[in-house]
């Protein structure tokens, strides 16, 4: 790899001791040809290019896989004057925080939220010892504090895109926002990994400025870990709410006492929520649950969450209910009648929790049929947004959109442009963008164009493979990884010889037949 300083036309501070390539002609010879004639970062293409949208520079310099489009004959970077450049901005970068935590130099506010965590029983209802290991951290007030006055969190009538592990990344969320999503949330982050300064975990919390209402989803089985992370988010982050995931069915998460494991440890869940409320202060808290572990029990949990108060008198703002049990995973249809029963189970004498339903919403009719009686405050959309991110547009315009293959490909292209902005336009950034694009294409291919159907597709249907109205439409509907790779090569260049891809989220979304 080319030294990043030399790549940007700057002297390398390490000189001869630098382990990266300094000889530009040698680097360019070994690097191979550019992927294309125009750097997506330099011009910020997207759906509709205009000179005003151009960044006017590329931070990757010669390491960019489109480097020759912004490099002179003498290998100097070509940039607009600095006053005309449009810097790329992301929020929640937390640049120095992980290092401070690792070196134990970050000073926490060790005040009433910690006391709130201590004043809890040492044995929960199941007989399990839940005492925490004493921390060696030091504590005092330091750093910026969010303003005390904050508008109440209002989910009523809003379209909320679920935190989707692996595929709910920042470039995907940008696409959803532009297609009509109102609320977005980070992928689920493990509190333990954050407190151990795991860089990839902290990267999950990044936010794009276009995300007008943005939350961070965390999970943990330890009370103090929840308190520390919430304090970090309140003081150092830019978040509109925090979401505690008490419904993740992944076995490794449950075995750690987090996610859906909290559904059978209600005492521990309540202590975590109480501690989070104390640590978050004025930042709203949401709790995501399933209908239960192996049977429906959340109608008893919702009133208990409603009664919890933080040490400043603040309460849980709302609960998100996935309409399946933990054991049910994603194999059965979501139970929306039970979700509404949970919403009605609240104590009328206490402030009402906002209740968000989740599960199997795949078109505007699904959305409005579940919202029309006014029992629910909003709906979270998960896999439906992965398969057809334009579902947000369909909902707001109350119509079925027979989107063309060309329009779908433009969405894919825009994801690639945003991925190169987020992960970088060098070889590593291209590889990451391709990886996450291929993961997303394993969902996008499940969409069947409405123009080919007598009735709109539903989430639980397993469609047969089909021949589309054009070669491109057939290609976009292919369930073959080789075809997904072919789509990625349209925008990210050819893959290395022998490259293969196996999706992380395998699914039986198709019947076993091929188009003829």
| Final residue of a structural domain among 397, 419, 434 | 397
Q: Are residues 213 and 362 in the same domain?
A: yes
- In 398-426, alpha helices (H): 405-423
Q: Are residues 183 and 200 in the same domain?
A: yes
Q: Which two tokens stand for residue 274?
A: 């109480």
Which residues share a beta bridge with 359?
A: none
Q: Report whether 221 contacts 250 (CB < 8 A).
A: no
Q: Are residues 217 and 350 in the same domain?
A: yes
Is residue 503 one of the residues assigned to a domain? no
Is residue 215 one of the residues assigned to a domain? yes
Confidence (pLDDT) at 138? 34
Is residue 504 one of the residues assigned to a domain? no
Q: Are residues 178 and 243 in the same domain?
A: yes
List C-alpha distances in Å: 360 to 91, 312, 357, 380. 31, 37, 10, 10
248, 275, 342, 392: which is the annotated catalytic residue?
248
* Count of domains forming the chain: 3
**C-alpha–C-alpha distance, residues 412 and 347, integer Å:** 46
Confidence (pLDDT) at 122? 39
Q: Are residues 181 and 276 in the same domain?
A: yes
Q: Are residues 334 and 385 in the same domain?
A: yes
Q: Are residues 440 and 293 in the same domain?
A: no
Q: Which two tokens stand for residue 170?
A: 């920042």
Q: Are residues 33 and 71 in the same domain?
A: yes
Which structural domain range is residue 257 located in? Answer: 97-144+153-397
**C-alpha–C-alpha distance, residues 381 and 392, integer Å:** 9
**C-alpha–C-alpha distance, residues 310 and 274, integer Å:** 5
| Final residue of a structural domain among 38, 61, 84 | 84
Q: Report whether 245 contacts 188 (CB < 8 A).
A: yes
Confidence (pLDDT) at 414? 94
412: helix, strand or coil: helix
Is residue 226 one of the residues assigned to a domain? yes
415: helix, strand or coil: helix
Is residue 511 one of the residues assigned to a domain? no
DSSP of 195-260, one letter per residue? HTT-HHHHHTT-B-TT-SEEEEEEE-S-HHHHHHHHHHHHHH---SEEEEEE----HHHHHTT-GG
Is residue 320 one of the residues assigned to a domain? yes
**C-alpha–C-alpha distance, residues 489 and 485, integer Å:** 6
**Burial per residue of 1-12, b for 16 or more beta-carbon CB atoms within 10 angstroms, e otherwise:** ebbbbbbbbeee
The domain that contains 381 carries what CATH number?
A: 3.20.20.70
Could you give phi then psi for residue 219, rounded to 5 degrees? Answer: -150, 150
Confidence (pLDDT) at 147? 52
List C-alpha distances in Å: 435 to 98, 207, 496. 26, 20, 13
Q: Are residues 371 and 258 in the same domain?
A: yes
396: helix, strand or coil: helix
**C-alpha–C-alpha distance, residues 211 and 218, integer Å:** 18
Is residue 17 one of the residues assigned to a domain? yes
Catalytic residue status for 185? no
List C-alpha distances in Å: 455 to 295, 363, 372, 452, 477. 33, 12, 22, 9, 18
| Final residue of a structural domain among 397, 418, 441 | 397
Q: Are residues 77 and 135 in the same domain?
A: no
For the question of whether the overall pTM of this predicted structure is more than 0.95, the answer is: no
List C-alpha distances in Å: 84 to 53, 67, 79. 11, 20, 9
Other Cβ atoms closer than 10 A to 121: 10
Q: Are residues 366 and 232 in the same domain?
A: yes
- DSSP letter at 44 equals T
Q: Report whether 407 contacts 473 (CB < 8 A).
A: no
**C-alpha–C-alpha distance, residues 163 and 380, integer Å:** 9
Q: Are residues 72 and 157 in the same domain?
A: no
**C-alpha–C-alpha distance, residues 269 and 288, integer Å:** 11
436: helix, strand or coil: helix
Is residue 426 one of the residues assigned to a domain? yes
Give mean pLDDT in consecutive 10-residue pieces for the chain, a chain of 516 residues. 85 90 85 88 57 75 91 86 85 92 88 58 39 35 46 88 95 97 97 95 96 97 95 95 95 92 94 94 95 93 94 91 87 91 95 95 95 95 95 96 96 95 95 97 94 84 84 95 96 93 69 48
Find the helix or strand (DSSP H, E) in which 173 lies. helix 170-178
Confidence (pLDDT) at 115? 61
């Amino acid at each position: 790899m080319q030294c990043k300083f030399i790549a940007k036309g700057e002297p390398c501070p390490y000189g001869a001791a630098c382990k990266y390539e300094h000889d530009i002609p040698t680097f360019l010879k070994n690097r191979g040809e550019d992927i294309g004639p125009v750097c997506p970062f330099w011009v910020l293409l997207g759906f509709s290019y205009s000179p005003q949208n151009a960044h006017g520079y590329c931070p990757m310099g010669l390491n960019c896989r489109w480097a020759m489009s912004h490099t002179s004959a003498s290998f100097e970077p070509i940039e607009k004057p600095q006053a005309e450049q449009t810097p790329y901005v992301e929020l929640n970068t937390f640049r120095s925080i992980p290092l401070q935590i690792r070196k134990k130099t970050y000073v926490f506010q060790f005040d009433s939220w910690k006391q709130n965590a201590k004043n809890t029983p040492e044995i929960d209802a199941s007989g399990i010892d839940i005492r925490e290991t004493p921390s060696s951290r030091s504590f005092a007030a330091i750093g910026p504090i969010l303003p005390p006055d904050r508008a109440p969190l209002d989910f009523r009538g809003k379209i909320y895109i679920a935190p989707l592990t692996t595929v709910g990344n920042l470039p995907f969320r940008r696409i959803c926002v532009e297609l009509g999503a109102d609320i977005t949330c980070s992928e689920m982050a493990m509190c333990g990994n954050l407190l151990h300064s795991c860089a990839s975990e902290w990267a999950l919390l990044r936010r794009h400025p276009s995300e007008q209402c943005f939350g961070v989803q965390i999970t943990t089985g330890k009370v103090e870990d929840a308190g520390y992370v919430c304090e970090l988010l309140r003081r150092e982050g830019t978040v509109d709410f925090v979401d505690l995931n008490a419904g993740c069915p992944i076995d490794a998460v449950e075995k750690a006492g987090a996610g859906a494991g909290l559904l059978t440890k209600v005492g521990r869940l309540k202590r975590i929520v109480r501690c989070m409320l104390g640590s978050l202060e004025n930042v709203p808290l949401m709790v995501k649950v399933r209908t239960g572990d192996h049977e429906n029990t959340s109608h008893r949990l919702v009133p208990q969450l409603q009664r919890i108060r933080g040490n400043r008198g603040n309460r849980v703002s709302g609960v998100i209910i996935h309409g399946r049990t933990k054991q049910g995973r994603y194999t059965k249809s979501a139970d929306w009648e039970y979700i509404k029963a949970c919403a009605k189970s609240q104590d009328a004498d206490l402030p009402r929790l906002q209740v968000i339903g989740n599960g199997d919403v795949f078109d505007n009719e699904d959305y409005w049929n579940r919202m029309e009686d006014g029992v629910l405050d909003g709906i979270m959309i998960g896999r439906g947004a992965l398969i057809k991110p334009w579902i947000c547009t369909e909902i707001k315009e109350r119509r079925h959109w027979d989107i063309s293959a060309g329009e779908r490909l433009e969405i894919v292209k825009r994801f690639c442009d945003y991925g190169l902005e987020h992960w970088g336009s060098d070889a590593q950034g291209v590889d990451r963008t391709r990886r996450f694009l291929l993961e997303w294409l394993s969902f996008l291919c499940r969409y069947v164009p409405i123009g080919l159907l007598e009735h709109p597709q539903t989430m639980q249907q397993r469609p047969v493979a089909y021949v589309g109205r054009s070669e491109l439409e057939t290609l976009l509907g292919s369930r073959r990884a080789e075809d997904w790779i072919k789509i990625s090569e349209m925008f990210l260049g050819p893959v290395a010889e022998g490259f293969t891809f196996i999706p992380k989220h395998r699914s039986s979304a198709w019947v076993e037949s091929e188009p003829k």
